[in-house]
C-alpha cells in the first residue's frame, strides 16, 4: 500500500487524493515529530506563566477574556470539542472526512500549533485503521475555519461520538478505537482549539474537485468534438493560429484537444452540402473559448490550493522565536472564492454542452439527422427526454453557481462578524461536479448515436475509438425505443471513471 509521509512543509494534492480516496497509509517524519515537540515546549512554558495567553489559558472567541486556572484547562479543551461538535443533517462522504482529518494533521505537523507528538500520531493511527468520524452537512461557516466538521473529528480522537469502522458500519468511536488498539487522547492546553481551527474541509473538497474537473474538462472537449462531427461542422475554427492571436492557454488547449480528436474525420467541413451555412452555431464554434475559460479558472484554483496545502492554518500559532500570536489566517476567503469560481465555470460548460445536445436532436438544426435521433420518429421518441434530464441538470447548476462566498452571517456574539461560507461553497461544488459529469455523459450519448446515424461517412479514428468503448461499456447504439435510464447510467459511469480520455489517448496521444 502507498505510504504518505507528513513533514513540516505541507503536503501535495496527490497526497490528499491518496489518503482520501485510495486509503494510503500515513507516517510522520522525524522532522515533524521534532517540530511538534519543540512547539509543545513553548506552549508548556507559556501555560506555566501567570499571564493569560489566548488558546492556552483563556476561553475562546467571544469568551476569550476569561483566564482559565490550570486545574480547569483539560476540561476546557474537552469542552470546546464537545460543544463545537454541533453539526446537523446528512453525513458527508467518507473521502471528504478523510481529507479533512489528513489536512488537519498536515497543519498540526507544521510545528506551529503546539500539539504534542502523540496527538498527531493518534490522528494518523485513526486514519490508518480506516476509522472515519461521522461529520454532518451543516455546521461550518468557513471561519474560524471548518469548526463543527473538525470538532466531530476531534471527538473521535477523544474516543467519543460516533464513527464509521473499516467495515462501513457506524458505531461508538470508543469501541472502534479499542478494537484497533488506539488509546483515546486526553487533550491538554491549546490542543482542542488546534484540532478545529482550519480550512481543511473546504480545502480537501477543492483538491478533489480539481482532480475530477481536470479529467472532466478533457472529456467535455472530446464530447464537443464528437458533436461538431455529428453536426457536419468545420474544424477550421480549431486551427492553432486562430487561437494564438487570443492567447488564453485554456482556450488553445481545448481547441488542440478537439482538433486531435477530429483528425482524419470524413464528417467535418460539409458546410456547402445539402444545407449551406457560412459558419457553425456558437455552441459548436465557441466550444474552446468556453471550455478554455473554465480551464484557466482551474489553473487559478490549483494555484490557490497549492498555497493552502503549504500553509499552517491555526489560531493562535507558535512562531519559531517562541511567540504565540493570534491571527486571522483561518478565514476561508481565498479557498471559498475559487470554489465559487469553479461552480460558475462548470455551470457554463454544462450549459453549452446541453445546447449542442439540443441541436443534435432538432431536425431543423441537425443537418439531416432524424428527429430526436429516433429510429421511427413518431412511433419512437428517441432521446427527447434525455435532453429534458440534461436541461434539468443544467438548470440546477445555474442555481448552484450563485456564490456562497458573497454571503456572510455574523456569529459568536459579533466577534466573528464576517465569515467565508467556504464549506457551503465546497458542498455545492461537489453537486455541480456530479451534475456536469451527467451532462457530459448525455452529450456523449447523443453524439455517438448521431455519428453512427451518418451512414456512408467515416468518423475520425479517435471518435471511432470512443464509440467502441462506449458500446463496450454497455451504452447501446441507435435502434427502437428502449428503457433509457440504464443507458444513461452506463454513460455516466463511463465518463465518471475517465473512460472517455482512456479511449481517446491511445489514438491522439495525451490530451492537454
Residue 178 neighbours by CB distance under 10 Å: 13
Identify whether the C-beta of residue 82 lies closer than 8 Å to the C-beta of residue 155: yes
Who contacts 386 (Cβ-Cβ below 8 Å, separation ≥6)?
Answer: 357, 442, 445, 446, 484, 488
**Which residue has cell 498555497?**
307
How many helices (H) and strands (E) would you count in the chain?
19, 9
Q: How far is CA 449 from CA 91, 223, 374, 400, 478, in A?
A: 39, 12, 10, 30, 6
- Chain-centre distance for alpha carbon 196: 21
Q: Which of 54, 138, 282, 337 is catalytic?
A: 54
To the query of whether residue 54 is one of the catalytic residues in this protein, the response is yes
Residue ranges with strand state E in 2-151:
3-6, 25-28, 88-91, 132-133, 136-138
- Spatial CA neighbour of 229 closest among 511, 474, 501, 449: 449
Tell me which DSSP letter residue 357 carries.
H
- Spatial CA neighbour of 203 closest among 63, 312, 324: 312
In whole angstroms, give the CA distance from residue 48 to residue 59. Answer: 16
Residues catalogued as catalytic? 54
Amino acid at each position: 500500500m502507498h505510504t504518505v509521509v507528513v513533514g513540516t512543509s505541507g503536503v501535495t494534492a496527490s497526497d490528499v487524493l491518496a489518503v482520501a480516496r485510495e486509503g494510503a497509509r500515513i507516517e510522520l517524519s522525524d522532522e515533524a515529530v521534532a517540530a511538534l515537540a519543540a512547539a509543545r515546549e513553548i506552549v508548556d512554558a507559556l501555560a506555566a506563566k501567570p499571564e493569560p495567553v489566548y488558546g492556552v489559558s483563556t476561553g475562546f472567541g467571544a469568551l476569550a477574556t476569561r483566564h482559565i486556572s490550570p486545574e480547569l484547562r483539560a476540561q476546557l479543551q474537552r469542552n470546546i470539542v464537545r460543544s463545537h461538535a454541533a453539526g446537523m443533517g446528512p453525513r458527508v462522504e467518507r473521502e471528504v472526512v478523510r481529507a479533512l482529518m489528513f489536512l488537519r494533521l498536515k497543519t498540526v505537523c507544521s510545528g506551529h500549533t503546539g500539539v504534542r507528538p502523540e496527538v498527531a500520531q493518534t490522528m494518523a493511527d485513526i486514519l490508518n485503521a480506516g476509522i472515519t468520524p461521522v461529520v454532518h452537512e451543516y455546521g461550518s461557516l468557513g471561519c474560524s475555519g471548518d469548526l463543527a466538521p473538525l470538532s466531530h473529528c476531534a471527538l473521535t480522537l477523544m474516543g467519543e461520538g460516533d464513527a464509521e469502522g473499516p467495515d462501513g458500519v457506524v458505531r461508538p468511536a470508543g469501541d472502534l478505537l479499542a478494537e484497533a488498539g488506539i488509546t483515546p487522547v486526553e487533550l491538554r492546553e491549546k490542543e482542542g482549539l488546534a484540532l478545529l481551527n482550519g480550512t481543511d474541509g473546504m480545502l480537501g473538497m477543492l483538491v478533489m474537485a480539481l482532480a475530477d474537473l481536470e479529467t472532466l474538462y478533457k472529456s467535455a472537449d472530446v464530447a464537443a468534438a464528437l458533436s461538431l462531427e455529428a453536426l457536419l461542422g468545420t474544424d477550421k475554427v480549431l486551427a492553432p493560429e486562430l487561437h494564438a492571436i487570443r492567447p488564453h492557454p485554456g482556450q488553445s488547449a481545448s481547441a488542440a484537444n478537439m482538433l486531435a480528436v477530429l483528425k482524419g474525420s470524413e464528417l467535418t467541413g460539409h458546410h456547402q452540402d445539402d444545407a449551406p451555412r457560412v459558419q457553425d452555431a456558437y455552441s459548436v464554434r465557441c466550444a474552446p473559448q468556453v471550455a478554455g475559460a473554465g480551464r484557466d479558472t482551474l489553473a487559478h484554483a490549483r494555484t490557490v490550493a497549492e498555497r493552502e496545502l503549504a500553509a499552517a492554518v491555526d489560531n493562535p500559532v507558535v512562531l519559531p522565536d517562541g511567540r504565540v500570536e493570534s491571527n486571522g489566517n483561518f478565514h476561508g476567503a481565498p479557498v471559498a472564492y475559487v470554489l465559487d469560481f469553479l461552480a460558475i465555470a462548470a455551470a457554463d460548460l454544462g450549459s453549452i454542452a446541453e445546447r449542442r445536445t439540443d441541436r443534435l436532436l432538432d431536425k431543423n438544426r441537425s443537418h439531416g439527422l432524424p428527429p430526436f435521433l429516433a429510429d421511427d420518429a413518431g412511433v419512437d421518441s428517441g432521446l427527447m427526454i434525455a435532453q429534458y434530464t440534461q436541461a434539468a441538470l443544467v438548470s440546477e447548476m445555474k442555481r448552484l453557481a450563485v456564490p456562497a462566498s458573497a454571503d456572510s452571517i455574523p456569529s459568536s456574539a459579533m466577534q466573528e462578524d464576517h465569515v467565508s461560507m467556504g464549506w457551503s461553497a465546497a458542498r455545492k461544488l461537489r453537486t455541480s461536479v456530479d451534475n456536469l459529469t451527467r451532462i457530459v455523459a448525455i452529450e456523449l450519448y447523443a453524439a455517438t448515436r448521431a455519428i453512427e446515424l451518418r451512414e456512408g461517412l467515416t468518423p475520425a479514428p479517435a471518435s471511432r475509438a470512443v464509440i467502441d468503448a462506449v458500446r463496450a461499456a454497455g451504452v447501446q447504439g441507435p435502434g427502437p425505443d428502449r428503457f433509457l435510464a440504464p443507458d444513461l447510467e452506463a454513460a455516466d459511469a463511463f465518463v465518471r471513471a475517465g473512460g472517455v480520455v482512456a479511449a481517446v489517448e491511445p489514438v491522439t496521444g495525451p490530451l492537454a
